[in-house]
Amino acid sequence: MTNNEFLLKHLRNVPDFPVPGIQFKDVSTLYKNPRCMKIMVNELYELYKDKGITKVVGIESRGFVIGAALAVKLGAGFVMCRKPGKLPADTLSESYMKEYGKDTIEIHTDAIEPTDNVLLHDDLLATGGSMKAAYNLVKKFNPKNIYINFIIELTGEGLNGRAVFDKDVEMTALIKI
């Protein structure tokens, strides 16, 4: 799949956010445009319609937007992977290192079954820390298959997020920059 020019045209770049030197890719401009939303959901549906996806796991919080819409289109359930203290029932947690410290994500203990085919979705892959933590959490449930998807994959210097995953992990991105 190649970069969709319409999506690229509507992706906002915010210089020096959240810290100087970072060029933040703001997907909110894609979410607010109905044509962009339709393109993203339809392209992802085409990628995963034949994978037997039974659960889509969205990573807090931007992964909830397209993840939930895609789950509906795939006829799958939607599972939230959240920051600590946000899920009301029993959870499993996984910590990971970020560029500026440690963070943790959680998922309900009854979220996934061994019979599930799971698609993990988030907006952006940079260093891979949060998605690797989510992947490790989902692996604890021993589902049949785990797939990973992003709207954007950053491929610039020092941002090889794919490298934190085993080579056999099937991973896609709609846009590679």
Q: Which of the residues are catalytic?
A: 62, 99
Spell out where 43-87 has E strands.
Answer: 55-59, 77-81
- H-run or E-run covering 12: strand 12-15
What is the DSSP secondary-structure string of 84-148?
Answer: TT-SSS-EEEEEEEETTEEEEEEEETTS--TT-EEEEEEEEESS-HHHHHHHHHHHTT--SEEEE
Which pairs from 171-174 meet CB under 8 Å and 24+ separation?
A: 171/125, 171/147, 172/1, 172/47, 172/147, 172/148, 173/125, 173/149, 174/1, 174/3, 174/4, 174/7, 174/40, 174/43, 174/44, 174/150
Whether the CB-CB separation of 121 and 57 falls below 8 Å is answered with yes
